[in-house]
């Protein structure tokens, strides 16, 4: 969800400009008097309580009174206690504007460090520029004129399951220049400095706020190359309907936050929420940063922005993998085989270009796919540089003989947009039948998307569940039982095809019932993992198989732990856009010291979507531990929020 290692400490903005040296000088009596008058007026008018001043300082009210900024970097504040005292910070900020200019050109004057504060205070108070040592920031003006920002676009790169840091997707903002060439614009994002790539540890540390997060500015072209081509992630771009004045306010506040750090929290103070504060700086009446939600993830940002009617235009930027798959789907099997062989360098592109038995549109598409496939093989180190260069140029030469592709010949189809998907959190009351006994059930999760959830706005076969839990009340003995609580349950069912051969995998960590007799209902700590492969026979079917392993820990075991290898097969069937069916069979051999037994599971489930945030679900689950069996059936009403 927007995590990456920290780049260098030098701000992008600073490196663009040439500083001018100004000799330090003592303040005149007139400047001192003007400074004191401005401070007195600001305090009298209680500007420190103005919502916009609180917004610029990222202040939030504390439950026991007072304020506290969400920024943790001391360099963001002019007052020693500025983090918790917006009044002291206001006074110190005004006073800092009257500091003499430093002789060292690399030392930014506060007027240049805080252009958003300076501009807003200028609007509220009557500044006399002649009495301020640095009345305007020349550095900022040079950078502003160079970038020429005229509009702002919210960018959502879709989730990437093979990186723990990107499983929820990411959000960033792009300042578009007046020439509208977005690829040459600058992207602004908030990212954490991560010290581990191990998913469960990464998630735990992210929840606890161990990582520092920073706002960073990068070339958007580099981000597109990273997301589209390297990570095979589709990108959605939402241009905001902001005026020039609103864009300028956002840009000034972005300047203030360059390189500033705060503790990164996985579910709230993350890349999704931090962009709210930048957008609010442009149009404060949106009050996006007042979101009271317990969790905020990138797709929530997209849905809130799209729901506010502030989107001027939407652009879908498909990944190279998406384009290649759609091109392959339009080619006959024989032509596809020849196209991929050409991309691998095993066939001459001329055999396709000169094949008069093929329609010219088909030849164009086949060679376009060959070129893209050769690039993919090179990035995956499956083609040497010399072989790639020689062969790729040969494909391009033959392709150029066929002329440009007409627009009607191929156009990438848009999938459902991210904002069309369900909300991340779920609450599902229901009724269960367990070995013939009726029970009332309540299940839910903090986030995000399950294999049986409707796939609109999500990637089919991708599951990320946090704190997925189910409890039951059994009225016949007035007993409440926690059936399971998954701290994290992640699955990536990625189909293999003629182009790509990704691995499918799963990881589950949490607590679950593992009964071996009627009166045994204590929870067992459970870790499951697996890896395998998946296939997509048709667009509606997704089948998979995995080799798995699991470990249990509980005081019921003689050595406190038990575990062993296993295997599973499954099938996902998307009957219609609103109906989904899943099936899975698992089996594992469990070894516990001198004891061992077989564990088997079978599950089938059906989900019917009623609306974007409602569905009805039924499932049947069979479990057998050793010689003890449990038959469970459940019907629930799902509320996404």
DSSP state of 164: G
> Is the pLDDT confidence value at 201 over 50?
yes
The residue-averaged pLDDT of 213-231 equals 83
* CB-side neighbour CA atoms (13 Å) of 58: 23
**What confidence score (pLDDT) does residue 181 get?**
83
Alpha helices, DSSP H only, in 214-297? 220-224, 244-257, 271-282
Q: Give the span between the Cα atoms of 34 and 39, in whole angstroms.
A: 9
CA distance 233 to 224: 9
For residue 173, the Cα-to-chain-centroid distance in whole angstroms is 13
The dihedral formed by the CA atoms of 300, 301, 305 and 311, expressed in degrees to the nearest 10: -120
| pLDDT above 90 for 438 | yes
Which residue would you say has higher pLDDT here, 207 or 193? 193
pLDDT in tens, 113-149: 999 999 999 999 999 999 998 888 888 999 999 999 9
**pLDDT tens track for 296-349:** 888 888 999 998 989 999 999 999 999 999 999 999 999 999 999 999 999 999
More confident position, 605 or 476: 605
262-266, 267-271, 350-354, 426-430: least confident range? 267-271
229 three-class SS: helix
pLDDT for position 225: 85
Q: What's the rounded Cα separation, in Å, for the pair 191 and 2? A: 5
pLDDT bin (cut points 50, 70, 90) of residue 196 is low
Q: What percent of the chain is predicted at pLDDT more than 70?
A: 91
Supply the pLDDT for residue 269. Answer: 74
Q: Are 349 and 367 in contact (CB under 8 A)?
A: yes
In the structure encoding, which two tokens stand for residue 177, read together? 């220049």
Question: If phi over 0 gives left and psi between -120 and 50 gives alpha, with beta otherwise, what is residue 600?
Answer: beta
pLDDT digits (tens, 9 = 90+) for 9-49: 334 443 433 333 333 346 788 999 999 999 999 999 999 99
Q: pLDDT of 388-410, one tens digit each?
A: 999 999 999 999 999 998 877 88
Q: Map residue 536 onto helix, strand or coil.
A: coil
Least confident of 17-26, 173-182, 241-250, 405-414: 17-26
Residue holding tokens 């409890």?
A: 471
pLDDT tens for 578-629 read: 999 999 999 999 998 888 889 999 999 999 999 999 999 999 999 998 889 9
pLDDT value of residue 209: 57
**DSSP state string for 364-424:** HHHHHHHHHHHHHHHHTTSS-HHHHHHHHHHHHHHHHTT-PPPGGG--PPP---GGGSPPS
> In this predicted structure, what is the pLDDT of residue 170?
86
Q: What is the dihedral of CA 244, 98, 121, 301, to 10 degrees?
A: 60
- In the prediction, which pLDDT does 5 show? 37
Q: What is the DSSP letter of 49?
A: G
**pLDDT score for 3:** 37
Going by their DSSP bridges, the two strands 235-240 and 311-317 should be labelled as antiparallel
What is residue 547's predicted lDDT score, i.e. its pLDDT? 98
* Structure confidence by residue, pLDDT tens digits, 625-635: 888 999 999 99
* Mean pLDDT of the chain, nearest integer: 88
pLDDT at 166: 67
* Torsion angles phi and psi, residue 182, rounded to 5: -65, -30
Q: What's residue 228's pLDDT?
A: 77
- The pLDDT of residue 63 is 82
pLDDT attached to residue 26: 65
Please provide the DSSP assignment of 591-626 as one string. Answer: EETTEEEEEEEEEEEEEEEEETTEEEEEEEEEEEET
pLDDT of 197: 52
Residue 259 to residues 5, 76, 78: CA-CA distances in angstroms? 13, 10, 16
Angle, in degrees to the nearest 10, between helices 385-400 and 360-379: 160
For 57-108, the pLDDT digits (tens) are 999 998 888 999 999 999 999 999 999 999 999 999 999 999 988 776 657 8
pTM for this model (two decimals):
0.85
DSSP 117-133: HHHHHHHHS---GGGSS
Helix or strand holding residue 155 (H, E)? strand 149-157
Q: Residue 220 CB: number of other CB atoms within 10 A?
A: 25
Identify which of 366, 4, 357 has the alpha carbon closest to the alpha carbon of residue 166. 4
DSSP 3-state assignment of 355? coil
State the pLDDT at residue 21.
30
């Amino acid at each position: 969800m927007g995590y990456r290692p920290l780049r260098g400490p030098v701000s992008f903005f600073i490196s663009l400009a040439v500083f001018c040296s100004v000799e330090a000088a003592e303040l005149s009596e007139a400047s001192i008097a003007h400074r004191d008058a401005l401070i007195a007026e600001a305090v009298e008018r209680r500007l420190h309580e103005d919502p916009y001043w609180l917004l610029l300082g990222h202040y939030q009210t504390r439950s026991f009174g007072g304020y506290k900024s969400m920024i943790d970097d001391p360099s963001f504040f002019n007052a020693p206690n500025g983090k918790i005292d917006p009044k002291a910070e206001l006074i110190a900020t005004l006073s800092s504007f009257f500091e003499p200019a430093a002789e060292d050109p690399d030392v930014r004057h506060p007027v240049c460090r805080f252009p958003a504060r300076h501009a807003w205070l200028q609007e509220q108070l009557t500044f006399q520029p002649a009495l301020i040592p640095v009345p305007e920031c020349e550095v900022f003006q040079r950078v502003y004129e160079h970038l020429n920002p005229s509009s702002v676009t919210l960018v959502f790169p879709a989730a990437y399951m093979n990186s723990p840091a990107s499983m929820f997707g990411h959000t960033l903002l792009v300042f578009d220049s007046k020439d509208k060439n977005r690829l040459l614009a600058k992207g602004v994002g908030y990212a954490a400095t991560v010290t581990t790539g191990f998913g469960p540890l990464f998630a735990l540390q992210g929840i606890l706020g161990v990582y520092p997060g920073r706002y960073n500015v990068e070339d958007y072209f580099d981000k597109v190359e990273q997301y589209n081509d390297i990570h095979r992630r589709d990108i959605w771009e939402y241009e905001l309907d902001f005026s020039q004045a609103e864009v300028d306010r956002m840009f000034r506040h972005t300047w203030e936050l360059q390189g500033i750090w705060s503790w990164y929290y996985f579910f709230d103070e993350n890349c999704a929420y931090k962009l709210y504060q930048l957008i609010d700086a442009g149009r404060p009446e949106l009050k996006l940063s007042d979101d009271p939600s317990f969790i905020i993830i990138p797709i929530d940002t997209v849905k809130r922005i799209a729901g506010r009617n502030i989107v001027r235009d939407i652009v879908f930027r498909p990944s190279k993998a998406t384009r290649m798959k759609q091109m392959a789907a339009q080619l006959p099997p024989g032509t596809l085989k020849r196209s991929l062989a050409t991309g691998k360098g095993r066939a001459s592109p001329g055999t396709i270009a000169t094949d008069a038995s093929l329609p010219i549109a088909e030849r164009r598409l086949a060679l376009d796919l060959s070129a893209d496939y050769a690039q993919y093989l090179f990035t995956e180190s499956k083609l040497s540089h010399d072989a790639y260069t020689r062969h790729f140029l040969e494909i391009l030469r033959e392709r150029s003989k066929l002329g440009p592709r007409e627009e009607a010949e191929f156009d990438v189809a848009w999938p459902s947009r991210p904002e069309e998907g369900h909300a991340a959190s779920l609450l599902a009351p229901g009724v269960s039948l367990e070995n013939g006994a009726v029970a009332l059930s309540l299940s839910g999760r903090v986030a995000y998307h399950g294999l049986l959830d409707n796939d609109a706005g999500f990637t089919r076969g991708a599951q990320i569940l946090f704190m997925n839990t189910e409890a039951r009340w059994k009225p016949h003995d007035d007993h409440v039982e926690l059936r399971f609580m998954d701290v994290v349950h992640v699955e990536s069912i990625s189909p293999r095809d003629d182009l790509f051969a990704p691995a499918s995998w799963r990881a589950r960590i949490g607590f679950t019932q593992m009964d071996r007799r009627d009166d045994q209902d204590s929870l067992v700590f459970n870790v499951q993992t697996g890896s395998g492969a998946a296939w997509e026979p048709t667009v509606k079917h997704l089948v998979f198989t995995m080799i798995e392993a699991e470990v249990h820990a509980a005081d019921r075991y003689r050595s406190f732990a038990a575990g062993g290898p296993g295997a599973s097969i499954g099938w996902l069937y998307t009957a219609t856009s609103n109906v989904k069916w899943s099936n899975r069979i698992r089996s594992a051999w469990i070894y516990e010291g001198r004891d061992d037994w077989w564990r088997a599971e079978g599950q089938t489930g059906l989900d019917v979507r009623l609306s974007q945030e409602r569905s009805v679900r039924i499932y049947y689950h069979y479990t057998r531990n050793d010689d003890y069996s449990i038959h469970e059936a459940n019907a629930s009403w799902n509320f996404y929020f």
